[in-house]
Amino acid sequence: MTIAILALQGAFAEHARMLDRLDTTHFEIRRPSDLERPFDGLILPGGESTVMGKLLRELALYKPLKEMIQSGLPVFGTCAGLILLAKEVDGGAVHFGTMDITAKRNAYGRQLGSFHTEDNFSGIGTVPMTFIRAPYIAAAREDTKVLARADGRIVAARQKNQLVTAFHPELDEDLRIHRYFLGMAAGT
Ligand code: GLN
């Protein structure tokens, strides 16, 4: 099992650290030639979705990655990664637009921009949730399953091969959400 991590900007190193702890092979994607190496799943990290969206297009990664996601590649988007996957973005541009959710950007206002809480994640239990200028999911459509809410707002969801969290599991010590994604990448 090999996981690719989009490493144009943002919190990619923190995801790599989680995968190291799970003894999972991983490598970084920075240019189209990186896509020649086979991989079973893709992580889109947190950061700044506008910057990542711009770099994806400039570096000619946008089209091949979008096609891979549409063909069923397991993908895990955290925070800005969630925004990259959303079909509708309130307060920003649409990027891959492969997942039937509406992401509300910078949704918690300035004072509440960053905070930590714990709440239930479907099938896993109570998990730590660290939010940094996070979006939330204002609407989940089609066969998208809501996996977690915090304060009544949807903060994690899955639609087939696509998993998203508005929070950053890679910034906490709990490995269970990454392990859940590795299960998706293994086809279970
Ligand atoms: N506010 C950022 C964006 O719109 C997301 C923040 C994050 O990834 N921590 O891309």
Q: Which CATH number goes with the domain that contains 159?
A: 3.40.50.880
Interface predicted TM-score (ipTM) of this complex, two decimals:
0.94
* Share above pLDDT 90 across residues of the chain, in percent, rounded to a whole number: 93
The count of structural domains within the chain is: 1
Q: Going by DSSP bridges, is the β-strand pair 25-29/2-6 parallel, antiparallel, or unpaired?
A: parallel
Tell me which residue range forms the domain holding 104. Answer: 2-185
Catalytic, 170? Answer yes
Catalytic, 168? Answer yes
Residue to mutate, 54, 79, 84, 85, ligand 1, most ligand atoms under 8 Å from C-beta: 79
Annotated ligand binding at 71? The verdict is: no
109 φ/ψ angles, rounded to the nearest 5 degrees: 75, 170
Annotated ligand binding at 105? The verdict is: yes
What is the tens place of the pLDDT at every residue in 110-162?
Answer: 656 789 999 999 999 999 999 999 999 999 999 999 999 998 999 999 999 99
pLDDT number for residue 138: 97
